[in-house]
Structure 1
Amino acid sequence: MSRNRARLSDVSIARPVLAWVIMFALIVFGSVALGRLGVSYMPDVDFPVLSVSVNWEGAAPEIMEAEIVDRLERRLITVEGLKEMTSGVSQGSASITLEFTIDRNIDAALQEVQTAISRLEMPTDVRPPTVRKSNPEESPIMWLGLYGEIPERDLFVLADNMILDRLQLLDGVGEVFVGGDMERNLRVWADNRKLKEYQLTILDVEQALLNDHVEGAAGYLENTQTERNLRVLGEAASPESIRNIRINSRGGAPIYFSDIRLRDVARVDDGLNDHRRITRVDGKRGISIGIRKQIGANTVAVGDRVIAGVDAIQKELPEGITLQVNFDSTRFVKEAVDETQFTLLLSAILTALVCWFFLGNFHSTLNVILSIPTSIIGTFLILYFLDFTLNLFTLLGLSLAIGIVVDDNIMVLENIVRHFDKGKDRIAAARDGTREIFFAALAASTAVVAIFLPVAFMEGVIGRFFFEFGITITAAVALSLVDA
């Protein structure tokens, strides 16, 4: 019976080289897996929540509710797994928050919501609704600030034409966006006195813009040999082109040989959308640029690339224009990783001192010390195959595991030393000491696993976050038992 129970230890004693190869293989492959693990602040967990947002410029809250929200709610109420729906409206915008049951696949729910919305006819001037998941991994990891002694519109053009494209090409960057609604906007300010002078109304101005400021497909032209696609090139390319648009109708009736231009009855300004958010950098007006990483990418590595990219872009910016990092969440991840590394090193040193003090044997102390990297680094291999990332929860599990993984080794090693002190040779002491303490070590490790493994199966959103924590510490303890 004892031979079967301790078969692995017998093989390790009979073939010590094989045991060392297994230990170093765990360390080597675990180190490779560590280099490929994604690093993030939080686990990749999708909350069972979807948010739907709709913008309709200038619409009153009552109109948003009647024409948009009520119609969307009637469509979305039939989505499978919907637990709660909350709506809110304001001037020109509306939002609907959908909470689903915890067992509902949020990606499938997202697709079903998008399908339901696509079947709904919206007013022509309403922007298509946007649907987003709630995931901490999708939050911006960095915010940049761009400011200088030039108009805000020129700052936006500079960011849109140069900075955003450069940063988007960096490895691991998922999305680069300008905070707030900073799109270019041409404003037409009609002069009521001049409109009356020409016997026109604002509707005539609007119709002129709709007729002449347009570009689109116009079919195709074919003959017996060739076929060519046609399109209407009517979109004005500049504010001056807008000012030169002819007003050819009055109250719906055509004005023949009209030479009335838009500039005769209105002023055209080139600017940006209405300010809904103001950004100040060092007390100066500027614009903010958000950086989102790709899901599963190494947060720290992406942050380092962005910082290097910002430094390179700054050298090419005109004098007086500054691009700087205002917020960097990757530093929290760096601090957590550095703290774990320090804890690992400190625990190894303290464990070595304690083992040396009580055992007084260098080889025995070395065996205990090697159990720490074998168990901890070997755990990285398991995390890699389970598609986990290094985040606050996995690092917390590793930090707790560091103080536990040496328990089995010390327990087994102390019993082997006791048998050796009785006069047995090394092989007999190792064999008898391991067999005698096998069930005690197994019981100790099983007790630890019994405490932390159920954490991985907690229900709800909190359970999804602690899943990686429970699996991490369980894997480390299991490897420590095998190593012992």
Structure 2
Amino acid sequence: MSLSDISIRKPVFAWMLMAFLIIFGYLSMRKMGVSQLPDVDFPMVNVSVAYEGAAPEVMELDVIDPIESAVLSVEGVKSMTSQARLGSANISVEFNLDKNIDVAVSEVEAKINQAQRFLPDDIDPPTISKVNPDDRPIMWLAVTSDTMAPKELMSYVRDNLKDRFQTVSGVADVFLGGYVEPNLRVWVDNDKLNRLQLSVSDVVSAIQAEHKESPSGFIEDSTRERNVRTLGEATSVEEFSKLPIIRRGGAPNYVPLFLGDVVKVEEGLADVRRISRAMGKTAVGLGVRKQRGSNSVDVATGIKAKMAEINKQLPAGLNIGVNFDSTTFIEESIHELSFTMIMSAVLTAIVCWLFLGSFAATINVILAIPTSILGSFIILNALGFTLNTFTLLGLSLSIGIVVDDAIMVLENIYRHHEMGKDKVRASMD
């Protein structure tokens, strides 16, 4: 005996099953994660390497070639593409579809670690990552100021705003766009170097040797042990200018010389190679990534609520606003699905009422459509799917099939009933 036969013979069971699917389907829909794209790991692994100041040709010969030779030995590699730029390189490795991408990441990392001895000594550690469209930022915030200098603006965003947005529920990471690290600029005077018989290498060596804080061990006696800290790092431009130059040409320098004697030190920013602007003003961007499987709309709502709270505490002249919000499209898609489901139920009910003239048949159709659609959310949630562009598209298309089937089944039952069969027999036939 099929489920439809049981439901026809036992209407109470059918009503309870319908109520179960509608209620728990609705709860499952509210529980599901919402995002623009599905949470799927592509069979791709990206390796990013930074080597400051290196020409593209150097990146190709000294960085890309050793890494490619090592990664090609990983099982399941389908193709590999590389790009070399000034100071950076990117290697994209595509694997076969049957390759476990998490295992592939581990194997690629192991091979790159083995090839580390062939890479330049002062290169930054390679960054290995998977490709997942759900890792894209869902929002971009722009912070601008009419009163702050760029250095002050960037320091304020880094020290006061970034961490506050990271505490919002569902946020995985907040990264800065257009941000330039503050640093000290050391301008060398060639005439002074020549007069004191110094070179730029002597200045660099003095900074490396004197501007650092090394562990200094302990001082012990019979009853106590104390940690010793050597204050070696300069905390201001004045202190930095007083760092001693203790060697000249690799030999000890016995004449007291200080950095301020041959260089000019000033506070500034690192080399600006990227800029961020909002409404024609210099800005610092805050990119928000959500946790995988979390609800993008809820995360965006939390970010906007936090932004409204922070706006009340910002210094005069500082402004923060939303520059990009991908959840607007998601909200419109969900509203469109709800509208389509309601409209289909209403139109189907009107058609059944006009052609069949039965109020009971109209009620059955109105309940059948949400039962079918909402019931599918129970399975989607159990299988770990999210509400995204593809699942919403599939549900929107399925509404047409559900409406068509509801009308055809109801019309067939009505036809058998007019042939003289009772309601139970007409429904089963």
- TM-score, normalisation: structure 2: 0.93
Q: 1:105 to 1:222 in 2, by over 3 A?
A: farther
Q: 1:117 to 1:223 in 2, by over 3 A?
A: farther
Partners in 2 of 1:320 and 1:125 — Cα distance? Answer: 42
Q: 2:306 aligns with which of 304, 309, 320?
A: 309
Conserved 8 A contact 1:181-1:276: no
Partners in 1 of 2:373 and 2:229 — Cα distance? Answer: 64
The 5-angstrom pairing of residues 357-376 of structure 1 reads: 357-376=354-373
Q: 2:185 aligns with which of 187, 210, 215?
A: 187
Q: 2:291 aligns with which of 272, 290, 294?
A: 294
SS in 1 for 2:168: coil
Give the equivalent residue in structure 2 for 1:429.
423
Q: 1:223 to 1:278 in 2, by over 3 A?
A: same
Q: 1:170 to 1:211 in 2, by over 3 A?
A: same
**In the alignment, is residue 146 of structure 1 matched against residue 143 of structure 2?**
yes
Give the equivalent residue in structure 2 for 1:168.
166
SS in 2 for 1:278: coil
SS in 2 for 1:319: coil
Partners in 2 of 1:105 and 1:223 — Cα distance? Answer: 58
SS in 2 for 1:58: coil
Give the equivalent residue in structure 1 for 2:29.
34
Conserved 8 A contact 1:51-1:132: yes
Give the equivalent residue in structure 2 for 1:77.
72
Paired amino acid for 1:429: K
Q: 1:400 aligns with which of 383, 397, 400?
A: 397
Paired amino acid for 1:434: S
Paired amino acid for 2:411: E
Structure 2, unmatched stretches of 5+, are none
Greater percentage in helix: 1
Farther off after superposition, 30-39 or 412-421: 412-421
**Identical amino acids, percent of aligned pairs:** 50
Give the equivalent residue in structure 1 for 2:269.
272
Give the equivalent residue in structure 2 for 1:24.
19
SS in 2 for 1:404: helix
Conserved 8 A contact 2:8-2:427: no
Partners in 2 of 1:231 and 1:349 — Cα distance? Answer: 77
- TM-score, normalisation: structure 1: 0.83
RMSD, matched Cα: 2.0
SS in 1 for 2:89: strand
Q: 1:106 to 1:31 in 2, by over 3 A?
A: same
Give the equivalent residue in structure 2 for 1:249.
247
The 5-angstrom pairing of residues 110-129 of structure 1 reads: 110-119=105-114, 120-121=116-117, 122-129=119-126
Partners in 2 of 1:239 and 1:123 — Cα distance? Answer: 32
CA drift at 1:158? 0.7
Q: 1:268 to 1:372 in 2, by over 3 A?
A: same
Partners in 2 of 1:355 and 1:224 — Cα distance? Answer: 97
Partners in 2 of 1:87 and 1:185 — Cα distance? Answer: 32
Conserved 8 A contact 2:178-2:283: no
Partners in 1 of 2:9 and 2:262 — Cα distance? Answer: 99
CA drift at 1:14? 3.2
Conserved 8 A contact 1:300-1:333: yes
Q: 1:317 to 1:8 in 2, by over 3 A?
A: same
CA drift at 1:419? 3.5
CA drift at 1:395? 0.4
Give the equivalent residue in structure 2 for 1:203.
201
Paired amino acid for 2:392: L
SS in 2 for 1:259: coil
Farther off after superposition, 351-360 or 411-420: 411-420
SS in 2 for 1:17: helix
Give the equivalent residue in structure 2 for 1:281.
278
Q: For each residue in 1:86-129, what CA deviation from the matched residue of structure 2 results, as whole angstroms up to 9, or x when unmatched? A: 22222222222212222222221112222222231343422111
SS in 2 for 1:215: coil
Structure 1, unmatched stretches of 5+, are 437-484
Q: For each residue in 1:18-60, what CA deviation from the matched residue of structure 2 results, as whole angstroms up to 9, or x when unmatched? A: 1101100011111111111000101112222222121121222
